[in-house]
Amino acid sequence: MHGLIRDRLEEYLKGGPEKKIPLEFEQHLRECEACRDEVSWMQDQSHILRALSGPKDMDPPPGFYARVLNRIEAQQSASIWSVFLDPIFGRRLVATSLTVAVLLGGFVAFREVANPPSVNDAEAIIAVQEHPPGLGQDRQRDRDTILVTLATYRD
């Protein structure tokens, strides 16, 4: 097929009242038998394809898209995170959390009461001692007293 025919073939096959085909195109078809046969074959194919195609204004019935979306949503599997959105599960989770918090709080409270600090520890004895009288008279002694107090301080 020659370039002139190849460039204008689609316009020629569309047909219609406003064909804008140059005269050289038609003249070449009259003179060249190979191009004429090929264009004739393509016209036959074009007619067959037009006959097989459906109507141009084919819209789905009303509600079609909504039904498709509903069907897709119905087929989706439930997410594992949807369990957390269940109100019954939320109540159970809150009750369990409160129970665990109360049990841990009781354990910590009774554990600390059961093991009171030992008074025999040297640090406890130093911390319990009252400051000796005469603070402010001997500077080195005051520094040592503050150092011992800071070293043994606990909350």
- The pLDDT value recorded for residue 95 is 95
- The pLDDT value recorded for residue 84 is 72
2-10: average pLDDT: 79
Domain boundaries, the chain: 3-52, 88-117, 122-152
Q: What is the mean pLDDT of the chain?
A: 79
With b for 16 or more beta-carbon neighbours within 10 A and e for fewer, the 91-127 pattern comes to eeeeeeeeeeeeeeeeeeeeeeeeeeeeeeeeeeeee
23-48 pLDDT, tens digit each: 888 888 888 888 889 888 988 888 88
75-132 pLDDT, tens digit each: 777 777 777 777 888 889 999 999 999 999 989 888 776 556 555 556 655 655 565 5
Q: Is the full-model pTM beyond 0.85? A: no
